[in-house]
């Protein structure tokens, strides 16, 4: 049997206060089985000591090109890496990278790396918005480096605005995606407006009970995150989603609860959008009446629920769509005596009238509440693409490929 080699990741850490969060990024990468070599800049060591990085990574930490000369570390680290993540990436680090400098081990590593590079900026808002940084980010992106958008929120001291390091979970999600597929995050949706629905609707029975479903919203979040990173202006219309999910930085979030609220938000937000993706799990039925007080237990046995059908939002959006708008649906299917998953998927695509349909096989613990997904992408033009098993971000990247291709 071939020896299993864990992916080699270089974690670069530049000198900003967010360097302390690099420890959490490092922990997530090592816990998921990566072999991580931390390469801080000299200034990063003013915030976190080398001993911390060495203990967490189990590997030596060096900063300069004149250490480990016989190992030729300034060349080997980059050559052997399967992914370089720089978190935090300061304005200075990005400026040096844009210029192709090699004055420390991290920048030298960047020059020899031929693998994907993920830079995660963190700095004060003024520095992020400065024309010099804007130009450096554009240049790095044009060379294929993935530069994440910083999150907005509280920075050091009393300042707020864009410039915060995105959460370690988001960074780890993109790191995994780039290891699964190095070209998963091209800048091919710039200037496109995208609306994605996510999560499961909840239909109230009374003030404390509802009819819901097991959708976590993970796939919808991954779709929104990947589209935003590929340059789109994204609105995420969410129903109920798992509490550990973080709204992606730079995505506008609209909160809804019931199918009726989701419908209203989707109809409103879809006007003028280039792409609409219905990834939400919408309840097909709702209680005919929402009782204003809690339904009490009585001796006469359980109450009888009377249900009515919810509108099919996807069908309505297809009916209202503007010229050139692309609409994508999702279908969770199981096979039965009438046909397999794909057969049912094709029939659903025809019934809904959308341009693309992602078909997932469900049951046996597949898809729902899971980090991973797989399936097929069916096109109204007869196209059929298998979506290989992998992260939900990987499935999202395949869908956005098909969308970008169709948008031309």
Point out which span in 28-36, 81-89, 109-117, 324-332 binds ligand C5P (CB under 6 A).
Answer: 324-332
Q: Is 213 one of the annotated active-site residues of the chain?
A: yes
Using CB under 6 A as the binding rule, whether residue 282 contacts ligand C5P is answered as: yes
d(CA 122, CA 85): 13
Structural contact between residues 154 and 161, judged by C-beta atoms closer than 8 angstroms = no
- Please list, in sequence order, all residues whose beta carbon lies within 8 angstroms of the beta carbon of residue 107, skipping any fewer than 6 positions away: 93, 96, 97, 101
Catalytic residue among 213, 310, 360, 373: 213
Using CB under 6 A as the binding rule, whether residue 403 contacts ligand C5P is answered as: no
Structural contact between residues 232 and 193, judged by C-beta atoms closer than 8 angstroms = yes
Q: What is the DSSP letter of 362?
A: -
Structural contact between residues 151 and 162, judged by C-beta atoms closer than 8 angstroms = yes
Span between the terminal Cα atoms of the chain, in Å: 45
Structural contact between residues 104 and 44, judged by C-beta atoms closer than 8 angstroms = no
Q: How far is the CB of 310 from ligand C5P (least distance, A)?
A: 5
d(CA 337, CA 204): 34
- Among 91, 146, 278, 399, interactor with ligand C5P by CB under 6 A: 278
Structural contact between residues 197 and 238, judged by C-beta atoms closer than 8 angstroms = yes
Nearer to ligand C5P by Cβ, of 247 and 329: the residue is 329
Q: How far is the CB of 245 from ligand C5P (least distance, A)?
A: 18
Using CB under 6 A as the binding rule, whether residue 329 contacts ligand C5P is answered as: yes
d(CA 342, CA 333): 8
Residue indicated by tokens 């060096």: 62
Point out which span in 69-77, 175-183, 185-193, 277-285 binds ligand C5P (CB under 6 A).
Answer: 277-285
Which residues face 240 on adjacent strands?
200
Using CB under 6 A as the binding rule, whether residue 287 contacts ligand C5P is answered as: no
Nearer to ligand C5P by Cβ, of 136 and 201: the residue is 201
- Among 128, 330, 368, 376, interactor with ligand C5P by CB under 6 A: 330
Beta strand 146-147 with 193-198 is unpaired
Letters for 34-73 (x = contact with ligand C5P by CB under 6 A, - = none) are ----------------------------------------
Give the DSSP per-residue string, 41-94.
-TGGGGTS-HHHHHHHHSS----STTSSGGGTHHHHHHHH-SEEEEEEE-HHHH
Using CB under 6 A as the binding rule, whether residue 185 contacts ligand C5P is answered as: no
Letters for 212-251 (x = contact with ligand C5P by CB under 6 A, - = none) are ----------------------------------------
Using CB under 6 A as the binding rule, whether residue 106 contacts ligand C5P is answered as: no
Nearer to ligand C5P by Cβ, of 252 and 351: the residue is 351
Nearer to ligand C5P by Cβ, of 110 and 259: the residue is 259
Using CB under 6 A as the binding rule, whether residue 284 contacts ligand C5P is answered as: yes
Nearer to ligand C5P by Cβ, of 249 and 281: the residue is 281
Residues annotated as catalytic are: 213
Q: Which residues bind ligand C5P (CB under 6 A)?
A: 259, 278, 280, 282, 284, 310, 312-314, 329-331
């Amino acid at each position: 049997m071939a020896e299993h080699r864990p992916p080699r990741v270089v974690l670069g850490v530049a000198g900003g206060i967010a360097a302390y969060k690099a420890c959490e990024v490092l922990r997530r990468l090592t816990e998921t089985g990566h072999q991580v070599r931390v390469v801080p800049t000299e200034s990063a060591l003013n915030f976190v000591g080398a001993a911390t990085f060495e203990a967490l990574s189990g590997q030596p930490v060096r900063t300069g090109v004149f250490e480990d000369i016989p190992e030729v570390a300034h060349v080997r680290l980059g050559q052997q890496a399967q992914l370089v993540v720089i978190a935090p990436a300061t304005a200075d680090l990005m400026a040096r990278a844009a210029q192709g400098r090699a004055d420390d081990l991290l920048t030298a590593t960047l020059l020899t790396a031929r693998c994907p590079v993920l830079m995660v900026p963190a700095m004060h808002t003024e520095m992020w918005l400065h024309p010099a940084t804007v130009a450096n980010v554009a240049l790095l992106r044009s060379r294929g480096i993935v530069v994440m958008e910083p999150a907005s929120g509280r920075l050091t001291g009393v300042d707020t605005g864009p410039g915060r390091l995105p959460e370690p979970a988001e960074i780890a999600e993109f790191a995994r995606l780039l290891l699964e597929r190095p070209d998963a995050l091209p800048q091919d949706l710039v200037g496109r407006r995208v609306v994605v629905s996510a999560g499961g609707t909840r239909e109230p029975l009374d003030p404390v009970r509802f009819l819901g479903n097991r959708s976590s919203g993970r796939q919808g979040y991954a779709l929104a995150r990947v589209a935003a990173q590929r340059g789109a202006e994204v609105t995420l219309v969410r129903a109920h989603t798992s509490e550990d999910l973080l709204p992606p930085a730079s995505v506008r979030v609209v909160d809804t609860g019931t199918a009726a609220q989701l419908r209203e938000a989707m109809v409103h937000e879809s006007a003028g959008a280039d792409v609409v993706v219905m990834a939400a799990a919408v309840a097909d039925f709702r209680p005919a009446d929402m009782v204003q007080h809690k339904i009490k237990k009585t001796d006469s046995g359980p109450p009888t629920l009377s249900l009515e059908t919810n509108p099919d939002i996807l069908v309505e959006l297809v009916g209202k769509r503007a010229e050139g708008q692309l609409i994508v649906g999702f279908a969770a299917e199981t096979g039965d005596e009438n046909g397999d998953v794909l057969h049912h998927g094709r029939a659903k695509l025809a019934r809904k009238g959308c341009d693309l349909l992602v078909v997932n096989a469900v049951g046996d613990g597949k898809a729902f509440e899971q980090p991973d997904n797989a399936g097929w992408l069916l096109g109204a033009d007869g196209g059929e693409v298998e979506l290989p098993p992998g992260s939900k971000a990987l499935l999202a990247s395949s869908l956005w490929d098909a969308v970008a291709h169709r948008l031309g």
